Structure formats: structure tokens, C-alpha cells
Amino acid sequence: MTAEAFIICAASLSGLISFIIFFHGSILHLLLVPLFLGAAWALYRYPALFIILSYSSGIFKDWLTENVGLFSTVDFTTFIFAVTLIGLLFHLLMTGEMWRLRLPAGFLALVLLTLLMMLSLFYTPSPKYGLLKAGSFLVFNWCLFFFGFWGVQSANDMKEIRFFLLATVGAVSLFSLGMLLHGIFSGRFIFSYRASFLGVNPISFANWVGAANIFCISSFPLLKGKKERIGVALLVVLFSVTMLAANSRGPLLSFMLSMGLWAFYGMKNLRAVTILKFFAGGLVLLLVLFLVLPQQLTSRYVDLFGGGSDVVSAAHSAYTINTRLFAWKTALDAAFTNLRTLMIGIGIGGFSSLFYGMDVRLYPHNMLIEVLCELGLAGVSLLVLHFVGAVTQLINYLRRQSQSERAQSMPYIMATVFLFLAAQFSGDLNDNRRIWFFLGLSLSVVNVLYREAMSRDGYEKKNY
């Protein structure tokens, strides 16, 4: 029996059993069986699609929770992660890749960091939020790390991940801008302060789009044909408009810093005229977007320290840079209170009780300061060791790659860099779990490219 036949039979049986047990013979619900079959086939044939859906779960979760009955009782993130994990493992088992899986670089430090989170539950002032935070990190951050690392085993897997990533972000960006235009022409735009997808957090949305944008831009050296370049250029314009319309300063600043790093690395061998044209084009695009977009969607970029000059922006004054700076100072003061807090922190999730006096989900909006405050130097050291271990392996592979292979690796690495920088301006460890997805992807991609080069050139394969 082929793998496809096996999974179709298994899905058919599962669907019929579900129909008999749960639906009590309803003809209407029997129509769900073909949907189960199609989803089961897609899960086996295109695990990359479900991996991207898991990576993007935060974008769709709120809308699905409010509008789909199943997800009003079942957490969508848990559901899609569980389905993706089962599908990926089954796919790896059927393709024979399961027995060749390896652990990613820096994994030991990640294990120790998670153990420190669990131990800190004994002394954190926010045990409720702390438990949820540590548990979420263990389940979802780890899963995304392994989805990225194990989800790419060949060049074809790389193509599928790239296609589904850009297709998903592109479709959502078009929808979001379409809704924005509809609001403008219908006269209801006054209520649209920051563009996002179906009400999702604009900062998270901008980071999600920004990762795809920097991915596209850093892939330009790979593009050979004119049609490819035009297509990717259109995506860059689409993603740039969507990012800017989200009216979020942190993602835009992170994007600009990432672009600077990529330019320093990727353009050092280009002629000065080419570099000048590239930056001039980017500057012109930015200026045109600022002139074309309504003032409500760009007000936060010029009003850095206040809540905005209009009524709508004033309502968001709690999210200004001044608040961020005060939260960072409070977190640092807590970390340096005494030797114990300096070494092991105040406990996972403890910032919320310190800053707000409540055991709820609140954080200082800076990942490194957050870890220093809650887990001390021990936590920061483990987090840094984790990233250093991964970066060291990336560098080892990049040094052995040709210029073409390095160009193929850079989009994944630059997306990781962008998300890491963005994590220093907003969100907590779990909000910024997308870092681990692209970090895992980067490690896997360089390994796949290295193995294929060694196989193609007839050299002995080596592991680093």
C-alpha cells in the first residue's frame, strides 16, 4: 500500500467513525468527511502549508475564535500545532527521514533555559501567568523551532516553505489593504487607526509581514529572470505598504536596521552606483508611501513620544515610547535589586506583579531585559548561549558555501535577524516565538545546501 493510499484509508475511517459517534447520522455533517479527506491528503502532501499556518497562527486565531464554533471551545493555536506535529512526523516517517533527524545547534542551552523557567515558578510573584508563560514557551516555541529545523529536508522543501510563506502573507496583505481602501471610500476610515488583519495586534501583524518583506528583499540576488524580479518587487511594495499602514514604530525601526545589516553584508561587493540606486529607490518608495497613505496611518512615525495629536491616537498613549522606556527602567531596577535577583531574577512572569501589581500577562516589551528581570544573568547567559550556538553553526556552514549557496541562505537568516531586533521593542518571549521558527529554518537550510553541494561535487559529507 502506498503512503497516499494509507493516509486516505486512515482518514476515511476516522471521518466515518467521527460521523457515527459524534454526528448521530446527520446527512448534513456527512459532507464534512470529504473535507477531512482533503485536509488529511494536504497534510501529508504539503506539510509546509501546515507549518506556515502554525507559524502564522496568531494572525488567524482571534477571528477563528469569534466566528468558528469549533475554535470557541478548542484553542486554535493548540489545534494547528498538534495537527502539524502529527502530520510532519508522519511525513518524515513515510519518507524515511525520521531516522536521520538531528538535534539543532544550541539545543542544550534551550533545554536548560526552559528548566530554569520551571524552577523559577517556586519563587515568582506571578505563579499563574508564570506557569502559562513557561508552559507556552516549552510547547509552542519549541515546536516552531523543530518545525523549522525538521520541516526542511531537501531543496524542494525549501521551495514549498518559501511559496506558502509568501502566498499566505501576500494574500493576507492584499485583504488587509482591500479592507482599508473599503473603509476609506465608505467614509468609515475615522475608526481605522492602525491597519491590521481582522483586528489582530498591529505590532504582531507588522512583524509577521516584515519578516516576509526582508525575506523577499534579501532574495533579490537569487533572481535571474525579469519576471521573477518584477514579481518579487511587487511583493516588496505590497509588504512595505502593509507594514507602514500598520502604524507601528518598532517593526519599522527593526526593518530599517535589518536592511542596514543586509546592505553591509550583501552589497559590499557591488558597485557604488548600484548601491546608490538601491537606496535611492527605497527612499523614494518610503516618501511616496508617506505622501499617499492617510495621516492616521502614519501619525505615530512622526509623533515619537506622545500618543498622537488626534483623538484616536491619544487613546493609544499607553503604548508610547515613554511607557516602554519606563518599563525597561523598572525591569532593570528589579534585576539589580540584590545579588539573588541579579543571578536568577524575580521569577518567570514576575514583571507583571512588579510593574502592574497583578498576576496577568504583562511584560516590559524587550526580550533581553525581560529575561534579565525574570531569570537573571543565568537566564540571559543561557539565552545568549542558545543563540550563539546556532549562529556559530550557521557561520561554519556559510564559510564553506559558495556565493550562490550563501545567497540562498540569507533570506532565512535575515528574517531571523529582523524578528530578533523586533523582539527588543515589543512583545514577550512567547509573542516573539517566530524567531525560533526562522532560526530553525536557517539551520536546516544551510545544512541542506551543504549536503547537496557535497553530494553534487562528490565530496565526503561532514557534519558541523
Q: Is residue 25 part of a domain?
A: no
| 363 close to 427: Cβ distance less than 8 angstroms | yes
Domain that holds residue 387: 46-302+320-457
Cα end-to-end span (Å), the chain: 38
Specify the range with the lowest mean pLDDT, choosing from 3-17, 62-76, 195-209, 412-426: 3-17
Identify the DSSP state of 74: S
State residue 311's pLDDT score: 43
Closest C-alpha to 298, from 310, 280, 282: 310
With a cut of 70, say whether residue 258 has pLDDT above it.
yes
The mean pLDDT value of the chain amounts to: 80
State residue 26's pLDDT score: 55
Q: Is residue 14 part of a domain?
A: no
With a cut of 60, say whether residue 14 has pLDDT above it.
no
**Confidence grade of residue 464 (pLDDT, cut at 50, 70, 90):** very low
Q: Is residue 231 part of a domain?
A: yes
Q: Is residue 27 part of a domain?
A: no
Q: What is the mean pLDDT of residues 275-286?
A: 67
Q: Is residue 35 part of a domain?
A: no
**Which residue would you say has higher pLDDT here, 257 or 273?**
257
Q: Is residue 160 part of a domain?
A: yes
Total count of domains within the chain: 1
With a cut of 50, say whether residue 128 has pLDDT above it.
yes
Full-model pTM: 0.84
Structure confidence by residue, pLDDT tens digits, 370-389: 999 999 999 999 999 999 99
State residue 312's pLDDT score: 43
**Which residue would you say has higher pLDDT here, 151 or 3?**
151
Radius of gyration for the alpha carbons in the chain, expressed in angstroms and rounded: 23
Q: What is d(CA 250, CA 258) in angstroms, rounded to the nearest whole number?
A: 12
State residue 295's pLDDT score: 60
Q: What is d(CA 161, CA 302) in angstroms, rounded to the nearest whole number?
A: 36
User: Which three three-digit cell numbers place residue 437?
Assistant: 521558527
**Strand, coil or helix: what is 442?**
helix
Structure confidence by residue, pLDDT tens digits, 407-462: 889 999 999 999 999 999 888 899 999 999 999 999 999 988 888 877 766 544 44
CA 453 centroid distance within chain: 29
State residue 191's pLDDT score: 45
User: Which three three-digit cell numbers place residue 245?
Assistant: 499602514
> Sign (positive/negative) of CA torsion 147, 148, 149, 152?
positive
